[in-house]
Amino acid sequence: MGWARKILRVDLSKGTCKSEPLNMEWAQQYLGQRGLATKYFVEEVDPKVDPLSPANKLIMATGPLTGTMASTGGRYSVITKGALTGAIACSNSGGYIGAELKMAGWDMIIFEGKSPKPVYLSIQDDVAELRDAAHLWGKTTWDTEEIIKSSHHDPQVRVCSIGRAGENGVLYACIVNDLHRAAGRSGVGTVMGSKNLKAVAVRGTVGVSGIRDFKAFMTATTAAKKVLADNAVTGQGLPTYGTQVLMNVINEMGALPTRNAKDVQFEGARKISAEAMHEKRLSDGKANLVTNAACFGCTIACGRISQVDKNHWSVVNSPKYWGATGGLEYEAAWSLGAADGVDDLDALTVANMICNEDGFDPITFGATVGAVMELYTMGVLTKEQIGIEAPFGSAQALLEIAHMTAEGRGFGKEMALGSARLTAKYGHPELSMSVKSQEFPAYDPRGIQGMGLTYATSNRGACHLRSYTVASEVLGIPVKTDPLVTEGKPALVMAFQDATAAFDSSGTCIFTTFAWSLNDLAPQIDAACEGGEAGWSVERLAELGARIWNMERVFNNAAGFTAKDDDLPARLKTEPAQSGPAKGLVSGIDKMVPEYYKLRGWDTAGVPDKETLARLGL
């Protein structure tokens, strides 16, 4: 229970949609969403598979709390082998489509093969069918959603789709749902595009009824909601300022990677911060921020809805960007802003809109622009090659490159590679701020040491969301640790990785963990799901998290990753922070990795010991 107990298998090569019972034995071991879908994936897909070949599969999965009254219970994840990374990919998104899929009666969809022509999947409760998408191919995610709603004569249908980036093979393409939420990282949208799958449209009216104990569930979810409401971060900080609450804080700490991580503080941070989003513009007297917004079921509501000045040079001739839409989250404000030295808030907001509109990851995109700007500054790339002068700080260059990437023209074709392949092509691989070919986000490992280990060991390539030790090192959740030291960080990272894997498998949002621990999650899962005699305890969820982490690791090792891939760009290890509290420091990653392996029960090559795998039932 909690689960719909039914999965949809779509063979794109044959054009068939079949219903299968959910493997309940696996559900007991891997719960749902990230864990359970990854279990299906590793059982069915060769780790050596080319991510863009028909033999790769793509799974869209909900968790047992998706579509319930648990706060933030609207999440779904996309699991595949990442186009950008070649590693296991798991990208999580909110909005409404996850809950809609669950309410249509499905736990997950497994896509396999490749359609001979563009198609989209239509789901109306238990009726699923592939439909021709010739009229949608070449369209943006925004247009695709509108056309599907119109042709279905149903404004309540929920849509996720790829934009032109996913069609054109931009290696960091997203799957965008509900206009401005996205399964963003690792190129899951690129894989979708390689299968000629344009969109998924879902309408669910069956609902979620299989809750083990409704009364206990309502008690547990109500108590957990109160914890969120009473917490300063989830109750006040995030709804008021969004994740952008961090911009000035991280900059003050000297941990804001700036101009392709040449610096750790950005003089323009204030101008692109949450506070700036609240202020009225001098130009038109309106604020960038229109309102906050929630995803399905979320009682935090950190989402930003923004509107730019219609007379801003970047949109004055483009009315489609004049309305209110998804605004800047912290990571995007950083990647499009600080990473490129750009401090024009409205320009960043528009660049973010373009990423949503055509479906590409603003973190990788912005960080790649940063690398391009550095190559331009060095004279390796020229104005003629890029199509525009591209020094650090140029908002014009940022937006022109965004348009080129979205449309797949000119230098946009080079941008499609991401920073690792692009910098290597031009002879400077050291300028890619990435791990496993995926760019790291908005926390500099010289100023927040735990995040270095987080990036280096993340199973999906550099990412903040696998073990967000910022919570501890910056905000003191659950306990304050010193961000400038490496001592204790391997254990911290490991505990965060395991707990996060459990949350990512539940259907709830990782942002709840500013207030919730597994102590808050376990009673909600236990009330929703059959768990045998043992029930769903904190200990069981932590072990489940470790099981998922090791399962992902085993897949990556079999895919060809080794210990040398658990490393940071040389810049972070050899070029000390120039200013701020971390001045003079480099990342202590080399000290942390061996200790981390040991704690994990892995050998010195980063391979899990037999005993470790046996202990976790792998």
Catalog residues that contact other proteins under the rule CB under 8 A: 67-69, 71, 96, 99, 103, 179, 204-209, 211, 214, 218, 225, 229, 239, 290-299, 301, 305, 307, 323-325
In angstroms, give the least distance from the CB of 120 to other proteins.
Answer: 21
Retrieve residue 279's tokens: 């202020």
In angstroms, give the least distance from the CB of 64 to other proteins.
Answer: 12
In angstroms, give the least distance from the CB of 347 to other proteins.
Answer: 20
Instruction: Count how many Cα atoms sit within 13 Å of the Cα of residue 382 in the half-sphere of its side chain.
Output: 2
Q: In Å, what is the CA distance from 414 to each residue of 106, 152, 186, 297, 569?
A: 39, 37, 17, 40, 21
Retrieve residue 489's tokens: 């960080």
CA-wise closest residue to 549 among 42, 82, 70, 60 = 42
Closer to other proteins by CB, 208 or 416: give it: 208
Closer to other proteins by CB, 64 or 452: give it: 64
Closer to other proteins by CB, 155 or 532: give it: 155
Q: CA 202 to CA 106: how far, in whole Å?
A: 11
Partner residues linked to 19 by β-bridges:
8
CA 138 remoteness from chain centre: 24
Q: CA 232 to CA 330: how far, in whole Å?
A: 18
Largest CA distance in the chain: 68
Closer to other proteins by CB, 218 or 613: give it: 218
Q: CA 171 to CA 26: how far, in whole Å?
A: 31
Closer to other proteins by CB, 293 or 474: give it: 293
In angstroms, give the least distance from the CB of 618 to other proteins.
Answer: 33
Q: How many CB atoms lie within 10 A of CB 43?
A: 9
Closer to other proteins by CB, 124 or 578: give it: 124
Closer to other proteins by CB, 178 or 343: give it: 178
In angstroms, give the least distance from the CB of 330 to other proteins.
Answer: 19
Q: CA 349 to CA 318: how far, in whole Å?
A: 14
How far apart, in Å, do the first and last CA atoms of the chain sit?
24
Q: Pairing state of beta strands 197-203 and 119-124?
A: parallel
In angstroms, give the least distance from the CB of 145 to other proteins.
Answer: 10
Q: How many CB atoms lie within 10 A of CB 471?
A: 19
In angstroms, give the least distance from the CB of 349 to other proteins.
Answer: 13
Q: CA 242 to CA 184: how far, in whole Å?
A: 18
In angstroms, give the least distance from the CB of 226 to other proteins.
Answer: 10
3-state secondary structure of 518: helix
Closer to other proteins by CB, 170 or 302: give it: 302
Q: How many CB atoms lie within 10 A of CB 280?
A: 10
Helices (H), 362-394: 362-378, 383-386
In angstroms, give the least distance from the CB of 515 to other proteins.
Answer: 13
Closer to other proteins by CB, 13 or 291: give it: 291
In angstroms, give the least distance from the CB of 351 to other proteins.
Answer: 19
Closer to other proteins by CB, 323 or 478: give it: 323
* DSSP assigned state of 589: H
Q: CA 126 to CA 19: how far, in whole Å?
A: 9
